[in-house]
Amino acid sequence: MSSSRVLVLNSGSSSVKYQLLDMRDSSRLAMGLVERIGEESSRLKHTPLASGGASREWTGPMADHEAALKAVSAELAKDGLGLDSPELAAIGHRVVHGGRHFTEPTVIDDAVLAEIERLIPVAPLHNPANLTGIRTARHLRPDLPQVAVFDTAFHTTMPESAARYAIDVETADRHRIRRYGFHGTSHAYVSRATAKLLGKAPEDVNVIVLHLGNGASASAVRGGKCVDTSMGLTPLEGLVMGTRSGDMDPAVIFHLMRVGGMSTDEIDTLLNKKSGLIGLCGDNDMREIRRRIDEGDQRAALAFDIYIHRLKKYIGAYYAVLGKVDAIAFTAGVGENAAPVREAAVAGLEELGMVVDGALNAVRSDEPRLISPGHARVAVAVVPTDEELEIATQTYALVGRI
Ligand code: AMP
């Protein structure tokens, strides 16, 4: 293939994140972000990595995603990398919800668009924004292959025993209620990268992946395939997150309605935006929480303890699900940077073969690395995630076959 570039787009309702990669060597040529689309003060920040130039910022009105993508293309064109370049092989789109239907990256056509649209009821916040990004990109480059890479796809290998909620089967099926899981591109990338770090093939290792960012999820990966993950129908289930509650008794919701007099939307906002770390202590940034703990702040300390307690429960649960664990991998903003979280999550699990070496854990690096001592039965690893590279790799592999 002579064209070797892939543009990765992650479209939100009022934002677009993008990266342009050259797949001959997986290098990043440019990256950027458009925010506040549809407002008077839309903002574009563009970093031309190939030329090594300084970041450029632009603020002004951008009416819609089409205006935003045209502005991105204009910035890319300044370095000869515009959307109309013949070097561009494909555009890879992050799509949050692919339901049960999309088990792999998929070349987008009208039928695929219709199916992503059909999934809006189970992803009302994300899929409409992803669709807008896809439609805009197709409008600007109708001749170019566009690929949807789904956050849920990696988890479609979960057995029914892990994917089904124990509720009435007919009701569940009628409303497509089941556990789909999210952050799939990250879990896929990190589980493979962890196998590589151990010098083994993904088929030969069992890994627990802990994706700890502002959103957080755990997965149990057996021989390269996901067998359980902590997020469910939506990204609300599972671990304590920056602003989301994670697991709780669903009756809390009835209680808030009946006794608290709250509406469905109010409870949705409470559990998704005002819970988790921010609800517990007023901060969702782990750096700030650690700083407060160092100053003796009790609320921050309790929030940290609740966060770690939940994390540890999932490590134990996935150890039991997998039976044998070769590695546990920490990734994303908190997992890659917060040594105290890694230390506390694994503390006391020596009987399970999990130990963290204090000196190795304290090392700061952007490289995948082991933080367990050489003799440990289970390797504990820090593996920086790279969702854009994963989306670009999957996109390029697919368009190379068509
Ligand atoms: P992500 O969603 O993966 O971008 O992760 C964002 C979160 O990572 C932030 O909200 C912080 O809690 C956390 N984070 C980022 N950098 C650090 C750091 N140096 N130390 C501790 N936590 C960090």
The predicted structure's pLDDT at residue 401:
63
Measured by CA distance, the residue closest to atom 1 of ligand 1 is 213
Task: Tell me how far the alpha carbon of residue 140 is from its chain's centroid.
Answer: 27
The predicted structure's pLDDT at residue 237:
97
Q: Which residues pair with 91 in a beta bridge?
A: 7, 146
What is the position in ligand 1's atom list of the atom closest to the CA of 338? 21
Burial environment of residue 123 by CB neighbours within 10 A (0 to 12, 13 to 18, 19 or more): buried
Q: Are strands 5-11 and 88-95 parallel, antiparallel or unpaired?
A: parallel
Domain residue ranges of the chain, discontinuous segments joined by +: 5-150, 200-387
Tell me the C-alpha distance between 284 and 55, whole Å: 28
**Residue 17 annotated as binding site:** yes
The answer to whether 267 and 248 are in contact (CB under 8 A) is no
Tell me, in angstroms, the distance from the centre of ligand 1 to residue 176's CA: 33
Residues, the chain, total?
402
Tell me, in angstroms, the distance from the centre of ligand 1 to residue 382's CA: 14
Tell me, in angstroms, the distance from the centre of ligand 1 to residue 280's CA: 17
- Give, to the nearest 10 degrees, the angle between helix 298-322 and helix 339-346: 60
What is the position in ligand 1's atom list of the atom closest to the CA of 289? 12
**Residue 336 annotated as binding site:** yes
The predicted structure's pLDDT at residue 402:
59
Tell me the C-alpha distance between 5 and 28, whole Å: 10
Tell me the C-alpha distance between 383 and 187, whole Å: 11
- pLDDT means over runs of 10, the chain (402 residues): 88 92 95 93 92 88 90 90 91 95 95 94 87 92 95 97 98 96 97 98 98 97 98 96 97 98 97 96 97 98 98 98 98 97 98 97 96 96 96 94 61
Q: Which residues line ligand 1 at a C-beta cut-off of 6 Å?
A: 213-214, 242, 284-287, 332-334, 337-338
**Residue 35 annotated as binding site:** no
Tell me, in angstroms, the distance from the centre of ligand 1 to residue 203's CA: 31
**Residue 62 annotated as binding site:** no
User: Which residue among 273, 278, 286 has the greatest number of ligand 1 atoms within 8 angstroms of its CB, and so is best to mutate?
Assistant: 286
**Residue 286 annotated as binding site:** yes
The answer to whether 8 and 21 are in contact (CB under 8 A) is yes
Tell me the C-alpha distance between 209 and 251, whole Å: 29
Q: Provide the CATH topology of domain 200-387.
A: Nucleotidyltransferase; domain 5 (3.30.420)
**Taking Cα atoms as reference points, which of 177, 250, 187 lies closest to residue 222?**
187
User: Which residue among 33, 182, 211, 214 has the greatest number of ligand 1 atoms within 8 angstroms of its CB, and so is best to mutate?
Assistant: 214
The predicted structure's pLDDT at residue 79:
87
Contacts 24+ apart (CB under 8 A), 280-287: 280/240, 280/306, 284/214, 284/242, 284/243, 285/242, 286/333, 286/334, 286/337, 286/338, 286/341, 287/337, 287/338
Tell me, in angstroms, the distance from the centre of ligand 1 to residue 285's CA: 6
At 73 the three-state DSSP class reads helix
Q: Provide the CATH topology of domain 5-150.
A: Nucleotidyltransferase; domain 5 (3.30.420)
**Residue 200 annotated as binding site:** no
What is the position in ligand 1's atom list of the atom closest to the CA of 211? 3
User: Which residue among 187, 280, 285, 385 has the greatest number of ligand 1 atoms within 8 angstroms of its CB, and so is best to mutate?
Assistant: 285
Return the active site residues: 151
Measured by CA distance, the residue closest to atom 16 of ligand 1 is 333
Q: Which residues, 6 or more positions from 168, have their beta carbon under 8 angstroms from its beta carbon?
A: none
